[in-house]
């Protein structure tokens, strides 16, 4: 009997798959709540629950099996129109899904999942059409269990069970193990090919043949196996019978057969650290390539030039592929937002419609990881502060259901994510009051302050305008964290708002952090890199072109007057003796433009962005560094913070 095999090995597989199903269950449930009559959604959820139940059953996770079973019953009641997917029924399903999540976490930690008898009773009650909670009834024992002492041989001849795995089955040994365990419940295993030992060794195979002495319930079990995930074909025959006489087995229920179709991405999982290492190597390769190209050009050898151009092309391809591998769609982080918005809204008695556009836009994994929390903070703000209560909306003659929208779009070298609500908008007078109250501004300053400056205050730590501190958005923490998170990624955030009509948060983010185009410049014998995305042009100014407006130096380019920022002065280094000409980069960040004076413009190059540690992250003017072909470090200028100075 294969019971000896360590189950823990397969828990991980279970946890991953179950999570995948749970995620889609949550998504579908949020949609179902909006359209309670959509029986297709009920059907989809039923299948997912059924699959979770099956997987958990085979692994012996009783708590999960029972919870999934109860959910399945309730969904079944919905399908047969006995129960409607509204109100209490929806809540209890969400609670069921949450309970499953908790159980899966326990399993992941190697702990026993805790059973939830109360919740299961509630699910059953609701399934019966009793919306009010009644006294808990004892749950009937699961009927699938077959007691060992009841076994009575159905056939004296040995049966042969033949199973072929689907090509896409990523882990046949695990499946085989699970099947062997299932088979052993209703039959005595005589032998198997591959052997239990080989299965345990995780050898790769596509077929499994098991010779058994069947017991009661064998046929039903075989049908259950046929319904499993990743199995192409199941045949049963008697020992000695030619293989073409064996009968194909049809899956247990049409329904569970369809469960197979819920796709689980056909992928290999690779640790992020491995991709990071690969990217580091590619980065070195990119640098080495630049040197090779340079040397080859100087050399003038035709054969060498051919090889170099080949390597040049391959390097570019490898680079873009490696960067591509790291890109994942935005919707991977968006998936949990609908549920979150729904929960908070419900909690506050608000009605909110939540839509996402552009979720298919892909960003580097690092960006995706770090953007989730800022977006979450903003969404909470929208639900909590933005959208008005039902009453207020009525008074304002708005439709009762508020609308929160996330729209992501590609903008040249950035991604723009706009999160907007149609709520009350930001009350500038309230900000003014608060700014004066906190002595951040004098009354006069506050009264004349521009909207932009007032909105800027919202990003300061501890500045919150809602009178009562609510559980959801807390005490003014949030927006300052949002700004920090976004800026750490090299992005920026802006708010626009009009009173009564709503608020929009705009996040500009880079697609990838890894490799960027940059201009290398020198300032006081050190090399710096300026991201090409921020440069609009380079120019040489005659010293006499520099004019002064009050204390600030300005230059004029094709009629446009812009501030001149001398980088030496910015960094607190002595100015060099006045030269006749100034090397200038015209840079822009958001709507601001300026001319940066540097000692020299050196080269245009691709650089690999490396982050500085926490001691240097707050330094103004610098956003990171890169390592040049020579091994020297070039710091990356942070144009945004330079322009703010």
> Would you tell me which residues interact with other proteins (CB under 8 A)?
280, 284, 526, 570-573, 610-616, 618-622, 624-625, 627, 631-633, 635
User: Any long-range contacts for 441-450 (C-beta under 8 Å, 24+ apart)?
Assistant: none
- In the residue annotation, 467 being an active-site residue is answered as no
C-alpha 306 chain-centroid distance:
43
**C-beta of 274 vs 615, nearer to other proteins:** 615
Q: Is 536 helix (H, G, I), strand (E, B) or coil?
A: strand
State the minimum distance, in angstroms, from the CB of residue 171 to other proteins.
32
Give the H/E segment covering residue 233: strand 231-238
592-598 and 560-566 strand pairing: parallel
The pair of three-digit structure tokens given for residue 43, joined into one six-digit string: 């059907």
Full DSSP string of 584-627: EEEEEETTEEEEEEESEEEEEEEEE-B---TTTTT-TTEEEEEE
User: What distance in Å separates the CA atoms of residue 493 and residue 478, rounded to the nearest whole number?
Assistant: 13
The pair of three-digit structure tokens given for residue 250, joined into one six-digit string: 């049809």
- In the residue annotation, 385 being an active-site residue is answered as no
**C-beta of 185 vs 568, nearer to other proteins:** 568
Q: Of the residues 125, 182, 213, 381, which is catalytic?
A: 381
CB 476 within 8 A of CB 462: yes
Full DSSP string of 8-74: HHHHHHHHHHHHHHHHHHHHHHHHHHHSTT-HHHHHHHHHHHHHHHHHHHHHT-HHHHHHHHHHHHH
State the minimum distance, in angstroms, from the CB of residue 621 to other proteins.
6
State the minimum distance, in angstroms, from the CB of residue 552 to other proteins.
19
**C-beta of 494 vs 612, nearer to other proteins:** 612
Q: Is the peptide bond before 194 cis (omega within 30 degrees of 0)?
A: yes
Q: In which residue are the tokens 């570019």 written? A: 316
User: What distance in Å separates the CA atoms of residue 119 and residue 133, rounded to the nearest whole number?
Assistant: 10
C-alpha 52 chain-centroid distance:
23
- Which of 467, 350, 456 shows the shortest CA–CA distance to 404? 350
State the minimum distance, in angstroms, from the CB of residue 624 to other proteins.
8
User: What distance in Å separates the CA atoms of residue 371 and residue 366, rounded to the nearest whole number?
Assistant: 9
Residue 495, burial from CB neighbour count under 10 angstroms (0-12, 13-18, 19+)? buried
Q: In which residue are the tokens 């959604």 written? A: 41
CB 113 within 8 A of CB 61: yes
**C-beta of 194 vs 531, nearer to other proteins:** 531
User: What distance in Å separates the CA atoms of residue 591 and residue 453, rounded to the nearest whole number?
Assistant: 15
State the minimum distance, in angstroms, from the CB of residue 162 to other proteins.
52
The pair of three-digit structure tokens given for residue 487, joined into one six-digit string: 């800026």
State the minimum distance, in angstroms, from the CB of residue 609 to other proteins.
10
Residue 201, burial from CB neighbour count under 10 angstroms (0-12, 13-18, 19+)? exposed
Residues whose CB is less than 8 angstroms from the CB of residue 402 and which lie 6 or more positions away in sequence, other chains included: 345, 350, 351, 352, 353, 386, 387, 388, 393, 421, 422, 423
User: What distance in Å separates the CA atoms of residue 606 and residue 424, rounded to the nearest whole number?
Assistant: 46
Query: Count of alpha carbons within 13 Å of 166, Cβ hemisphere only?
Result: 13
- In the residue annotation, 50 being an active-site residue is answered as yes
**C-beta of 246 vs 570, nearer to other proteins:** 570
Residue 634 sits at φ, ψ, to 5 deg, of -115, 125
**C-beta of 546 vs 633, nearer to other proteins:** 633
**C-beta of 77 vs 322, nearer to other proteins:** 322
**C-beta of 78 vs 609, nearer to other proteins:** 609
- Which of 70, 36, 33, 32 shows the shortest CA–CA distance to 50? 70
Q: Of the residues 26, 33, 69, 72, which is catalytic?
A: 72
The pair of three-digit structure tokens given for residue 311, joined into one six-digit string: 């390597």
State the minimum distance, in angstroms, from the CB of residue 290 to other proteins.
16
User: What distance in Å separates the CA atoms of residue 300 and residue 273, rounded to the nearest whole number?
Assistant: 40
User: What distance in Å separates the CA atoms of residue 573 and residue 589, rounded to the nearest whole number?
Assistant: 24
State the minimum distance, in angstroms, from the CB of residue 458 to other proteins.
25
Q: What is the CA radius of gyration of the chain?
A: 32
**C-beta of 278 vs 376, nearer to other proteins:** 278
**C-beta of 273 vs 412, nearer to other proteins:** 273
**C-beta of 225 vs 596, nearer to other proteins:** 596
Query: Residues with catalytic annotation?
Result: 50, 72, 381
């Amino acid at each position: 009997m294969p019971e000896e095999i360590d189950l823990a090995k397969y828990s991980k597989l279970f946890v991953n798959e179950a999570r995948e199903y749970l995620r889609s269950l949550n998504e579908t449930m949020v949609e179902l709540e909006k359209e309670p009559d959509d029986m297709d959604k009920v059907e989809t959820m039923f299948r997912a629950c059924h699959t979770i139940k099956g997987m958990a059953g085979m692994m012996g996770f009783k708590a999960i099996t029972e919870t999934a079973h109860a959910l399945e019953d309730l969904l079944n009641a919905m399908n047969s129109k006995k129960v409607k997917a509204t109100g209490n029924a929806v809540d209890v399903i969400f609670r069921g899904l949450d309970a499953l999540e908790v159980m899966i976490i326990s399993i992941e930690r190697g702990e026993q999942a805790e059973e939830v008898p109360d919740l299961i009773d509630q699910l059953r009650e609701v399934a019966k059409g009793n919306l009010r909670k009644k006294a808990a009834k004892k749950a009937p024992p699961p009927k699938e269990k077959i007691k060992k002492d009841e076994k009575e041989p159905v056939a004296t001849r040995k049966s042969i069970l033949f199973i072929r795995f689907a090509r896409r089955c990523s882990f046949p040994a695990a499946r085989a193990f699970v099947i062997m365990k299932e088979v052993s419940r209703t039959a005595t295993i005589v032998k198997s090919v591959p052997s239990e030992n080989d299965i345990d060794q995780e050898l790769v195979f596509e077929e499994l043949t098991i010779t058994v002495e069947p017991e009661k319930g064998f046929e039903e079990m075989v049908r259950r196996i046929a319904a499993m995930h990743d199995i192409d074909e199941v045949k049963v025959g008697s020992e000695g019978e030619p293989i073409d006489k064996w009968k194909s087995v049809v899956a247990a229920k049409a329904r569970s057969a369809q469960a197979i179709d819920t796709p689980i991405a056909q992928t290999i999982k690779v640790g992020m650290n491995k991709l990071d290492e690969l990217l580091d190597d590619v980065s070195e390769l990119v640098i080495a390539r630049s040197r090779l190209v340079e040397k080859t050009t100087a050399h003038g050898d035709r054969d060498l030039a051919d090889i170099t151009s080949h390597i040049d092309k391959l390097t570019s391809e490898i680079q873009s592929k490696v960067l591509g591998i790291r890109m994942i769609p935005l919707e991977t982080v968006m998936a949990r937002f609908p549920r979150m918005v729904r929960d908070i809204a419900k909690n506050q008695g608000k009605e909110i419609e939540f839509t996402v556009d552009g979720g298919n836009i892909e960003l580097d994994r690092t960006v995706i990881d770090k953007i989730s929390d800022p977006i979450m903070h903003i969404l909470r703000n929208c639900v909590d502060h933005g959208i008005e209560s039902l009453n207020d909306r009525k008074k304002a003659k708005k439709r009762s259901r508020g609308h929160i929208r996330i729209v992501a779009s590609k903008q040249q070298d950035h991604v723009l994510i706009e999160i907007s609500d149609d709520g009350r908008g930001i009350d500038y007078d309230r900000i003014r009051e608060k700014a004066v109250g906190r002595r951040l501004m004098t009354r006069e300053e506050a009264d004349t302050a521009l909207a932009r400056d007032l909105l800027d205050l919202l990003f300061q730590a501890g500045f919150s305008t809602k009178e009562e501190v609510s559980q959801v958005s807390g005490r003014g923490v949030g927006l300052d964290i949002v700004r920090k998170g976004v800026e750490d990624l090299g992005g920026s955030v802006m708010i626009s708002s009009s009173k009564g009509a709503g608020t929009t948060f705009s996040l500009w983010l880079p697609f990838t952090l890894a490799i960027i185009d940059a201009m290398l410049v020198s300032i006081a014998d050190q090399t710096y890199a300026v991201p090409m995305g921020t440069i609009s042009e380079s120019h040489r100014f005659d010293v006499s072109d520099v004019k002064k407006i009050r204390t600030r130096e300005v230059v004029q380019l094709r009629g446009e007057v812009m501030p001149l920022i001398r980088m030496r002065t910015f960094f607190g280094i002595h100015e060099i003796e006045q030269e006749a000409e100034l090397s200038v980069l015209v840079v822009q960040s958001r709507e601001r433009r300026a001319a940066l004076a540097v000692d020299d413009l050196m080269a245009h190059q691709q650089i690999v962005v490396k982050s500085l540690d926490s001691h240097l992250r707050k330094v103004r003017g610098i956003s990171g560094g890169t390592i040049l072909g020579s091994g020297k470090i070039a710091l990356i200028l942070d144009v945004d913070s330079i322009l703010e100075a």
